[in-house]
Amino acid sequence: MEAMSTVGSERVAAVVPDVLAAIHEVLERHRVTEEEWYAALAYLTEVGRADEFILLSDVTRTSVLIDAMSHGASEATASDVEGPLYRDDPPWREKPCKIYGSYEGMGDGDVLMVRGNVTAAGGGPLADAVVDVWQTGPDGGYDLWDPRQPAFNFRGRMRVDEDGAYEFETMLPKPYTVPTEGPVGRYLEAMGQHPWRPAHIHFKVTAPGYKPLVTQVFFPDDPYLENDTIGAVKPALVRPVTPEDDHLRCEFDVALAPA
């Protein structure tokens, strides 16, 4: 009940009867049996025990729907789904900001320099913005899944310069599969839905007096751009990657809406 207390009781009273009416209508239409209903309840119990409700919301494209309804058209940079893999209190990265350390198996992935400017939507630079990023590397997925990687690998927060600029060194991420070994993996298999996401970098950008922006940046020519399993790709968030000296370069400017 604690989570419910964070939502106003008027909203609960307004929304829940419609949720129940929709569920009851589906149960009746499909003549769902007692056995099937208890199997469904056992499944949801398992999803909760495995802490996979956010993942379930993502792969059912429910998170994308909520994101779209929550952030309408504006001059701010397009938002996107956060996903379940943010880790609280990521390390602060000092200039020159590098967000990864070497690990066995990382191979010869491409070094990627990412830079951009944080501004107010339709306005000037935000000198006190913080850019927080997380991503997979060239091998092994997220640090959380890969014991070979140092803690908080491919994660970090950085403060922008006085002119709102940021830059960090990372490696070009690769497409990866969302976790499939738990109950959500069984859902994907039952639905014939593949588990792949296109390569991306997650961003959480904050500045005092502005709405926090959670988003993702994607790269062209990815085999999963058109069929991300969570359906989160927005054309405005696909950024070119260009060769520069001995590394790749990607530019991503961020505009924040006033709070």
* List of residues 6+ apart from 198 with CB closer than 8 A: 175, 218, 219, 222, 223, 224, 225, 228, 233
Q: Which is nearer to ligand BEZ, 58 or 132 (CB)?
A: 58
Using rule CB under 6 A, residue 85 touches ligand BEZ: yes
| Under 8 Å between Cβ of 98 and 146 | no
| Alpha-carbon span 69 to 84, nearest angstrom | 19
Least Cβ distance, residue 86 to ligand BEZ (angstroms): 8
Burial of 195 (0-12, 13-18, 19+ CB in 10 A): middle
Interacting residues with ligand BEZ between 203 and 242 (CB under 6 A) = 230
Considering the rule CB under 6 A, would residue 58 count as an interface residue with ligand BEZ?
Answer: yes
Please report how close the Cβ of residue 248 comes to ligand BEZ at its closest, in angstroms.
Answer: 20
Q: How many residues of this chain bind ligand BEZ (CB under 6 A)?
A: 8
Nearer to ligand BEZ, 117 or 135 (CB): 135
User: Nearest-CA neighbor of 56 among 190, 173, 155, 176?
Assistant: 190
Answer whether 132's CB lies under 8 Å from 205's CB.
Answer: yes
CB of 88 to ligand BEZ, least distance (A): 15
| Segment interacting with ligand BEZ, rule: CB under 6 A, options 70-78, 80-88, 112-120, 239-247 | 80-88
Tell me how far apart the alpha carbons of residues 237 and 224 are, in angstroms, rounded to a whole number.
14
Identify which range of 78-86, 113-121, 186-194, 219-227 contacts ligand BEZ by CB under 6 A: 78-86
As measured in angstroms, the least distance from the Cβ of 222 to ligand BEZ is 13
Q: 58 vs 222, which CB is nearer to ligand BEZ?
A: 58
Q: Which residue is nearest to ligand BEZ (CB)?
A: 83
Going by the DSSP 8-state scheme, the letter that residue 237 receives in this structure is G
Q: How far is the CB of 177 from ligand BEZ (least distance, A)?
A: 9
Nearest to 144, CA basis, from 96, 194, 192, 83: 83
Binding site for ligand BEZ (CB under 6 A): 55, 58, 83-85, 178, 197, 230
